[in-house]
Homo-oligomer: A and B are copies of this chain.
Amino acid sequence: MSSTGRVTLPIEQGMDDQLPGILSRLGADAVRNSDGTWLPEITSELGVKVYETYFPARGNQEFALAHLDARPRFYLMSPRIAAPADGALEIDIMRGYLALQVTPDMTDFTRWWEVIDRTTGDVVEVDGWSVSGDGPDTVVTIAAPEPFHVYTVNFLAWQVWDSTQMYNYTTNNWQNDPTRVREVGYDARHPEAWEFMQQSLRDWCAERPLVDVVRFTTFFYHFTLVFNDLAKEKFVDWFGYSASVSPLALDAFEEEYGYALRAEDFIDEGYYNSPFRNPGKTYRDWLDFQTRFVTSRVKALVDIVHDAGKEAMMFLGDTWMGTEPYGEHFAGIGMDAVVGSVGSGATCRMISDIPGAKYSEGRFLPYFFPDVFKEGGDPLGEANESWLCARRAIARKPLDRIGYGGYLSLAVKFPDFVARVEEICNEFRAIHELGQGQRPENAPIRVAIVNAWGSLRTWQTHMVAHALWYKQIYSYLGVIESLSGLPFEVEWMSFDDVRSGSLEGVDVVLNVGAANTAFSGGDEWLDADLVTALRRHVSLGGGFIGIGEPTAVSANGAFFQLSDVLGVDKEIGWSQSTNRYPVAHGEHFITADLREPADVGEGAGDIFGLDGAELLQLDGKSVDVAANSAGAGRAVYIAGLPYNADNTRLLHRAIYWAAGRDADFASHFNSTNPDVEVAVFPAAGKALVMNNSTEAASTVVAGRASGMRGEGEVVSHELELDPMESRWLDL
């Protein structure tokens, strides 16, 4: 087994003696710097591939400060302020924002700003308001507001501090380091900036013969990350495009699309087109417009890198807006590699499944930053947690490489951590070698997740900030987290795809999320074509699984528009007069492996069963899990599915049952112990058995050597696994 390769380590200056030993121990074949560290001179002697971070849109502060008109902007909304009984209303638009990060852009403000009556939704005519002051003291005065109506100002603002560098600066207390400055960015749409970006990349490449890989961190437009007046995060949307605006871009958009966007198209009542909102036409147009611009300019930069004989690697995050790795323009860039932070199995698959890059790399957690690598920190625990989540996803679709980021000098102070990383690196390489570079076999069941975003947000649903926990998402994120390590082909499908007939060939459809979100679908379910497409799918023998508030929109006497298919609906107060007598169903294939009642997280609450549904788990009178037959097909309802082993098994079985394949489950290498999962490589004649828990585990795995589609004898394998162990089994 190789003890070297597929691993990238961050290195830095001042560790020359230690570096060769550490690299060798972990089998690293590539090194990199990080934001705030520099490659040491010894790098060339290490005999490894060299990455260097590159910041095309903020790398040169001299240029940035000389071209403040090239700074990027964002659209922001003022606080909501009620008008008095009579007289003018003054709105201090910067209230709640940080002057170090944000300053209003007064250029042509009557054209770019908007004052809106939030009681009626009406726009206030431009001659009805005026602006006074500037910077943090900018005030908009509405001369004659409607008494007691609430108003806001949508304003364009300069980004006077790059959001990621600001985060790193404040997290690492760089205010105490006189060598650090607050970095300012520049916008690729600005003609001089764009010329500068290209030339400086050419120069940079020429000056660095040692560098093999240009690690773009990242490109032009930051996801929306705005801080409050106390320099704490105020608004974070990892998918937000409201920091990608500029008059130049808006003018270009108008010319191309034939209509002008309004400030409100970005502000969106203050929701800023959160991915939880069903995307409207103008926002979709803007995404398309910016994605074409960004990918074309990224391609130009990648071409420069290639001309210099180097590889281009993109960091999946930070100023990544407009790259849309699952969009139609990404593959055309010719990007060599994508690297991203692995916060979970789902984020791992989000990286490894990107179709348009030559190879993928996962940057594992914890990041070598002092917030974890400090006394009382638990880097070992974080490494284990991260690995256990990632391993099952890697087993399904391997990342090509793994790595770490941050300050190696911090990590080496934790020898237990380094020892564990060594094991992880070896385990990772074994998956590639023993699996013979192939993907493990999937069950013969095609799964589709339907929502408003479809494939554009493959493995990206329900996320607010990258891999962070939010109360309203964890019960749904668990679904993709579970799927990231389950043996199914999963595809993401938009409602439009469904209407266009994409369900053809799909076995089981999932609709997951809270009511009125883009992931559940909200008003989309008022469309008879969508509803009947799903009902037809099930009626003709297909499966449907709804989690949370699937197909939810109140209309025509139902809240779940496919309540008849799901066998459940939600009480929203209007049908309390209907008496209900829920009776728990006994044992069932779907719930057979639950060791205790499924944790449905926030659940959906107040779910009632309809005639004929099997209520597999009740919480008081509310249904947590139900199974139903509709026509020739089957449906399953689950109130919520936070990620854990039991819930993963619940979903695993639910998919088999909904697909009508429950009889095959026991012979498809599905471990009897939910803590243990199996990836089968029939061509290699091997199976990877993984104990996902930190306790020892016993299990039995049964299957045919020929795989799930093959024939022949079913052989049982009894196994005892150590905590967290993975073991390769000969079939």
List chain A positions with a Cβ less than 8 A from chain B: 79-82, 84-85, 95-96, 118-121, 146-150, 152, 224, 228, 232-237, 240, 269-272, 274, 276-277, 464-465, 470-473, 514, 516-517, 528, 531-532, 535-536, 539-540, 554-558, 561, 563-565, 571-579, 581, 606, 611, 620-621, 630-631
Contacts and interface: CB of A to CB of B under 8 A. Distances in A.
B577 A539 contact: no
A111 to B, nearest CB: 23
A574 B121 contact: no
Nearest to A470: B576
B516 A118 contact: no
Contacts of A120: 528, 556
4 A-B pairs closest in CB distance? A269-B557, A148-B532, A148-B535, A270-B557
Contact of A611 (B96, B121, B571, B577): B96
Contact of A85 (B79, B271, B540): B540
Nearest to A563: B80
Contact of A575 (B118, B271, B473): B271
A532 B119 contact: yes
**Chain B CB within 10 Å — which of A119, A535, A555 has the most?**
A119
B121 A556 contact: yes
Contacts of A630: 82
B536 A148 contact: yes
A228 B611 CA distance: 12
A576 B274 contact: yes
Given A80-B563, A85-B539, A272-B577, 12 more contacts: A82-B630, A119-B561, A148-B531, A148-B536, A224-B577, A236-B579, A464-B576, A472-B576, A472-B606, A473-B576, A516-B574, A517-B574
B119 A577 contact: no
Contact of A606 (B147, B270, B471): B471
A276 B573 contact: yes
Nearest to A152: B557
**Chain B CB within 10 Å — which of A84, A269, A556, A565 has the most?**
A556
Contacts of A611: 79, 95-96
A730 B649 CA distance: 70
15 contacts: A80-B558, A82-B535, A82-B564, A82-B630, A95-B611, A120-B556, A146-B528, A149-B528, A152-B557, A269-B556, A269-B557, A270-B575, A271-B575, A472-B576, A472-B606
Contacts of A149: 528, 532
A581 B227 CA distance: 13
A457 to B, nearest CB: 15
Contacts of A574: 271, 274, 276-277, 516-517
Contacts of A271: 557, 574-575, 577
Given A149-B528, A539-B85, A564-B150, A578 B276 contact: no
A578 B235 contact: yes
Contacts of A277: 574
A234 B630 CA distance: 24
Contacts of A79: 611
A154 to B, nearest CB: 11
Contact of A573 (B82, B119, B121, B472): B472
A359 to B, nearest CB: 32
Contacts of A269: 556-557
Nearest to A268: B557
B577 A236 contact: yes
A577 B540 contact: no
Given A471-B606, A532-B148, A564-B80, A237 B556 contact: no
Contacts of A563: 80
Contact of A539 (B80, B148, B579): B148
**Chain B CB within 10 Å — which of A514, A564, A578 has the most?**
A578
Contacts of A631: 82, 84
A576 B471 CA distance: 9
A15 B240 CA distance: 80
A224 to B, nearest CB: 7
A234 B277 CA distance: 37
A233 B576 CA distance: 12
**Chain B CB within 10 Å — which of A79, A276, A621 has the most?**
A276
Contacts of A555: 121
A555 B232 CA distance: 28
A262 to B, nearest CB: 15
A377 to B, nearest CB: 23
A630 B83 CA distance: 11
Contact of A119 (B536, B554, B556): B556
Contacts of A150: 556, 558, 564
Contact of A579 (B148, B232, B516, B621): B232
